[in-house]
Amino acid sequence: MPDEGLDAILIQVTVPLPVPMIYAALTAPDQLAGWLCRSARVVPRVGGDYALTFDEPAAFESAGTVLQWTVDLDVGFTWYAPSDFAELMNRRPTPTTVYVRLQESPEGVDITLEHAGWGAGDAWEAARSWHFHFWDERLQRLKDYLIKTAYG
């Protein structure tokens, strides 16, 4: 029986701003470039592009495809990893996936990111650990970006 893969990464931040403002930051290319990546190409429909170009922490492009798109609720896309993990993650029959959901809460809007599709073994653990820290830092950037955009 093959090893089961690692658990999905789950990270949540709460932002006290309107859902449409937050959703735009997750889907509008100019806003994605304000907190997540250097540039983005997004075609807002299932099957469309969700391509992100990064300069740091390493230069790479995640040329993903939109898997889920519900305005003001969620967005999901395939993820292609940076070069350190490309051989492991990007040549599989199915790449890992990132899903972000918005839900109103008493404190504002909960933004929950789930990165799933991990394999098993030491190399996968290293890739998952790197991505956990990457997404944790980027969601904090998102929160800071949104607060600065709203309040200056």
Place of tokens 């230069």: 59
Count of alpha carbons within 13 angstroms of residue 44, beta-carbon side: 10
- The string of pLDDT tens digits covering residues 3-58 is 589 999 999 999 999 999 999 999 999 999 999 999 999 999 999 999 999 998 88
**Residue 29 region, left (φ>0) first, then alpha (ψ -120 to 50), else beta?**
alpha
SS3 10: strand
- The string of pLDDT tens digits covering residues 81-115 is 999 999 999 987 789 999 999 999 999 999 999 99
Check residue 3 and give its pLDDT. 58
| Cβ atoms 10, 139 nearer than 8 A | no
| Cβ atoms 151, 31 nearer than 8 A | no
Domains of the chain: 9-151 (3.30.530.20)
